Structure 1
């Protein structure tokens, strides 16, 4: 069986492509599957992949549904013969005891991997300096605009509609989701030579016997130090279970390069040309996505509002889908890029009617991602095939997964790093009209105001954030 460095499960789709970007920048070929892959795929078509992942939706699930979703997938990943299995979470730690519980996910993973029986703690690393995410003495910070905010004061996360952050100490926040014990290797303990830091970690584990060890990350130096420690833990056994953001991959990349397991120079950059028309499908209500949509509309994109309550109505759904498809094809035929959007920001007037429609159907608010995503995916698949669209953007972490699956995509591979957290991917699909489609799965907080236009123009037109000979510019 092929021995791989890492495999992972992403708790939402856009976060899953974030890991694709991190491993791409490390120079490792990685395949992201939308469902757990059959062994024949891993041993056949994708045999040369260094790493692979499975894009999931656990961030939007209650704990009992997380159990049903995660246990079989993690068991499959454990059998994949990878040195590390990573449960990938958002770098803003989106979670609560009732929705997307990171604590419950770690409990399930720890059980599947027999972490406690094997005397292993679960490393937890959330900071990603590249994405302006930092953990300092256990407290987490995230950039927004030109500032960095403590997580409980972050302008978006403190008002998140599903998982608002009222606590920046990740140990306290996580402690409300699990009874597992949590220790911290803080930035002070990470100072000095590696052997001294290793001894401090060993002492911490020996004294406190934690189930989870949280690693502070404030800069690339601490990130690399954490990566080396985690890789050493993985070398002592089979299949180390790790939780955290894409910072895990950036941390491990340094250790892999030092051991000759990853190229020092990073990937060869593949030129990406501009496209004349871009299709954007947005189920995000983030203020960042709102600014991006408004910027694109000002640049001449055609905006088509999606009335979510109509797509949810059994009586109106079919007509609503046909009407949206017709409008989209008409605008594309005129040579315009098109944005299908369900909301412009967190205060959009369409959010209330959508929630009322969900309540009338007896559905939880979180079900909107699935119901809207499936409808938008049906529209997107037809439009791509009929209009010959070659590049699309899907905005919204939870929506992206359902749209991608409905389109018929079974795997993704990173093609270019357009902007931090928003890589351009190539789709693998059994349908030849979809196979090779270029797409970006964009999280709500990802990208500058002109992000959509950067995606349309591609790397050949000066998009920022590209790999450049082993460093970043």
Structure 2
């Protein structure tokens, strides 16, 4: 109908995710809103990018969350140039919804400094809250839920004692100010609710404030944040934040009638057997592992401390492959883990082994991730399985690289922030189904849900009865 507003043609959002699980969450938010999205696991070739212009979202997953500023300075600018070439009106540096970062590792501030000159905009929204993920920002402070209980981020049972990026500050503006010299402002949820957001944004921009944090506490503030971003984008706007950015844009586009309020297909057929690997130390993942052990999974421990020696690690991975295949042959599912929760003695043993060896923790962690990828790769191929789950934000990227997977598209909403995806690969794993699960993501039955499926009427989803 003449006069009806419409979204522009072509890609709407181009994003880089600073870890693989979070990148899949951004893809999920767009895909299940009816906006097909592809996630590349490395900067795409010009040929692959040209073949992807029909997608409304184009993402590139990376590992910047686990890297230092020197690595960022060398590796991020070429990726940001690719995002710029896509030409989407929104360019997004996607960060974890618990804002994992520090000046020396995963610096969001350094990433913003590198991205802003390349990706455009006279202001840069910072949006981290995601109510669907249990993340809430109020007066600039971030809160996150665990088992339905809300915690201020600096008192969060996991993030306050994260082994790499412990969060001792819940005010995201103050936390980010340690990482960049750019000025940082805030539009709070009260201002939004009172209809003063546009005026507040105008004042902040007139004062030269470059980064403006947006409170997201509920659906109304999520939608209003999406409106501020979209209506004040100019020709192109660079945004930093969690998957809440895509969720906010979708919420506004729906409210404005720019896209239909469609619902995803909440059905997934089960499979007889799956294989999973976990490099996560999260208590959420620990609960999921314990639940899986009671429901048909063999939990096979891998001694990560052996990864300080390449030869010993190769032997350990070989043993893990044998144990995983034996579990599958016995009629159970295979779940290979390096630890179960933050208090697992395996974590201390690994840290002690790294210290005694003289190796760097980064090098050992890379070896662990690659080994888990090799193990999953071998098990899937030998057992001819078509579905898998990888737990752990940093682990996921290393595993997929080892498996030769170069892109993902979301196919089913397994858990908020962890969609089941279809893989693209030049090797044997083309079309395999795989989910990437961050440490804080998913209900206790996630591994079983991935195996059993859900929402299929007229038949049991027990794995012995579903093909």
TM range, normalised to the smaller chain? over 0.9
Q: Aligned partners of 2:362, 2:187: CA distance in 1, in Å?
A: 35
Q: Aligned partners of 2:204, 2:93: CA distance in 1, in Å?
A: 23
Q: Aligned partners of 1:258, 1:43: CA distance in 2, in Å?
A: 32
Residue 77 of structure 2, aligned match among 71, 84, 89? 71
Match in the other structure for 2:116:
110
User: Residues 287-329 of structure 1: CA distance to partner in whole angstroms, max 9, x if unpaired?
Assistant: 1111110111122311111011223312323322221111111
Q: Aligned partners of 1:366, 1:140: CA distance in 2, in Å?
A: 28
Q: Aligned partners of 2:132, 2:290: CA distance in 1, in Å?
A: 26
Match in the other structure for 1:457:
452
How many angstroms does 1:68 deviate by? 1.5
Match in the other structure for 1:32:
39
Residue 22 of structure 1, aligned match among 29, 33, 36? 29
Match in the other structure for 2:157:
155
- SS at structure 2 position matched to 1:18: helix
- SS at structure 2 position matched to 1:91: coil
Match in the other structure for 1:392:
388
Match in the other structure for 2:213:
214
Unaligned runs of 5+ in 2: 1-7, 458-467
Alignment partner of 1:228 is 2:227: yes
How many angstroms does 1:367 deviate by? 3.8
- SS at structure 2 position matched to 1:315: helix
Match in the other structure for 1:420:
416
Match in the other structure for 2:198:
198
Q: 1:368 to 1:441 in 2, by over 3 A?
A: farther
The answer on whether the counterparts of 2:409 and 2:422 sit within 8 Å (CA) in structure 1 is yes
Residue 123 of structure 2, aligned match among 106, 112, 121? 121
User: Residues 257-286 of structure 1: CA distance to partner in whole angstroms, max 9, x if unpaired?
Assistant: 35555333244x274211111211000111
The answer on whether the counterparts of 1:88 and 1:243 sit within 8 Å (CA) in structure 2 is yes
Q: How many residue pairs are counted as aligned between the two chains? A: 450
The 10-residue stretch of structure 1 (250-259 or 147-156) with the greater mean CA deviation from structure 2: 250-259
How many angstroms does 1:2 deviate by? 7.3
The answer on whether the counterparts of 2:120 and 2:237 sit within 8 Å (CA) in structure 1 is no
How many angstroms does 1:460 deviate by? 3.3
The answer on whether the counterparts of 2:187 and 2:197 sit within 8 Å (CA) in structure 1 is no
- SS at structure 2 position matched to 1:359: helix
Q: 1:100 to 1:79 in 2, by over 3 A?
A: same
The answer on whether the counterparts of 1:2 and 1:43 sit within 8 Å (CA) in structure 2 is no
Match in the other structure for 1:342:
338
- SS at structure 1 position matched to 2:332: coil
Alignment partner of 1:185 is 2:187: yes
How many angstroms does 1:24 deviate by? 1.8
How many angstroms does 1:34 deviate by? 0.4
Match in the other structure for 1:469:
none
The answer on whether the counterparts of 1:394 and 1:440 sit within 8 Å (CA) in structure 2 is yes
Match in the other structure for 2:401:
405
Q: Aligned partners of 1:369, 1:22: CA distance in 2, in Å?
A: 30
Alignment partner of 1:82 is 2:91: no
The answer on whether the counterparts of 1:113 and 1:241 sit within 8 Å (CA) in structure 2 is yes
- SS at structure 2 position matched to 1:343: coil
Q: 1:314 to 1:419 in 2, by over 3 A?
A: closer
